[in-house]
Structure 1
């Protein structure tokens, strides 16, 4: 069976979508060959690829997979452009002919909605690192009352940031500045906090602490 791959110009147009997703997420590694890659905490590798559903001249589908060393592929998602079109009879797609590419029906394409959904799917993968099949339960500690309180305060009072100074100011008699810093470092190494500064709590940490997203 013959395999068809997008042209350089088609990839260039698709980059508009993937780079917008990358700007709002962590772990983006770039486009390598014919796919876009994210490397997430817990050894999770995410791959996005571009496909067609009708003919190789109409590229209109982004497919994504998430895999881990322990279980292989454990999550997948499809983002068909037609699902984000506003006119049923004029579905959006990247039209390619003899290596030249351009958007068709771009005016009817709610690209922002597709980007939002892809970002949400990537964020949801953050919770998968505490799935027993993806990562052994022993890799994560049971959270105590104070630790849960810290996460709750960060989520609802600090807009999701794990800001050490502000957290210590809120719990001055319950945890020292040094202990708080060491806790943040451990959680970052486990992928429960992001490595940006200030750190942010992840979906996985919310799940572990019982804090609603």
Structure 2
């Protein structure tokens, strides 16, 4: 029998929100301040999984595959979903400098958890779960680099990865970038739940960040 986990609910439409929360929501512009670069990872996925036939389908931006996860992968995938789905940084509203610092610290903790799970998967590095964790780590790493670029002095030399974008001021750029990352991580977790065999939304585990992959958020291959 498959495990069943309900997505995190969004009750904002049915309640009167405090002014501070309304302000935080107003900071969400829907802008795409940068694009994730998953091209090397997607090329690796095509090499590893193209032509395979399996009982589980999973997808990433621009590609989809069928695989047959091992029991060890399913167990670790289930642990990841249970551990990460309620992390506040993946769904909370914040708009103060302390909240930004706390969110960045929480993302570092998530990154550490993901690395630990990859160590547990050292014997299955060619499997789908290892690849999906890699996709999450890449997203976090690129967001953190972007956030560091936002804080740089205007006199700093151009950054080869991000200076082609028109960078906003730090706080607004941070919010827009975090929204982008949340969508990426939510959809990755949805795919991990498919590997785990859990009855959860596969197009995003977090209610506010569901739906098909937003291909505009990714560099085309």
Tell me whether the two structures share a fold, i.e. TM-score over 0.5.
Answer: no
Instruction: State TM-score, norm by structure 1.
Output: 0.28
More helix by share: 2
Larger radius of gyration between Structure 1 and Structure 2: 1
Which of the pair is proportionally richer in strand?
1
